[in-house]
């Protein structure tokens, strides 16, 4: 007489393994997307803060036609005000008419946080300077 192997519980183990694998894959997709969004936020905040700072011109020199350059004090204040308004941490430097902004955004993983992965910091950086010339020279 041939004995049949007892396979009770084999399907339960299979379902558990597949469920854990699917949850891990979903977690990686969700948290990977969240990290990408945080990186985009850091980059966008840096670009816009640099743009805001580069618009603060040394008006007397520009009106006299001497040069188009950023007022260092006003440019730095404008860039920092933009960062504060968006709630993004960052540093601003103005040197030689160039406004440079570095930002830092923290992303807290949703699924990976359940297994002990802590917050992830992402950074962004951008620079801007005012441009003098006609629209044709700038875009053409």
Residue 5 has pLDDT above 70, yes or no: no
DSSP string, 68-82: --B-HHHHHHHHHHH
Q: How confident is the model at residue 57 (pLDDT cuts 50, 70, 90)?
A: confident
Distance between CA 114 and CA 30 in Å, rounded? 13
Q: What range does the domain containing 76 cover?
A: 10-139
Q: Return the pLDDT at 139.
A: 43
Residue 26 has pLDDT above 50, yes or no: yes
Tell whether 37 is covered by a domain: yes
Tell whether 5 is covered by a domain: no
Distance between CA 49 and CA 86 in Å, rounded? 10
pTM for the model stands at 0.76
Tell whether 4 is covered by a domain: no
Q: Return the pLDDT at 97.
A: 84
Q: Return the pLDDT at 40.
A: 96
Tell whether 96 is covered by a domain: yes
Q: Return the pLDDT at 134.
A: 55
114 φ/ψ angles, rounded to the nearest 5 degrees: -70, -20
Tell whether 66 is covered by a domain: yes
Tell whether 33 is covered by a domain: yes
As for how many domains the chain has, the answer is 1
Tell whether 129 is covered by a domain: yes
Tell whether 3 is covered by a domain: no
Average pLDDT score over the chain: 85
Residue 35 has pLDDT above 90, yes or no: yes
């Amino acid at each position: 007489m041939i004995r049949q192997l007892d396979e009770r519980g084999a399907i339960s183990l299979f379902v558990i393994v597949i469920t854990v694998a699917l949850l891990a894959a979903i977690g990686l997709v969700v948290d990977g997307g969240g990290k990408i969004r945080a990186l985009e936020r850091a980059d966008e905040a840096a670009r816009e803060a640099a743009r805001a700072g580069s618009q603060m011109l040394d008006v007397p020199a520009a009106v006299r036609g001497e040069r188009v350059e950023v007022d260092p004090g006003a440019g730095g204040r404008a860039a920092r005000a933009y960062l504060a308004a968006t709630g993004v941490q960052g540093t601003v430097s103005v040197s030689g008419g160039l406004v440079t902004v570095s930002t830092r955004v923290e992303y807290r993983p949703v699924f990976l946080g359940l297994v002990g992965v802590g917050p992830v910091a992402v950074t962004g950086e951008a620079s801007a300077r005012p441009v003098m010339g006609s629209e044709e020279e700038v875009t053409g």
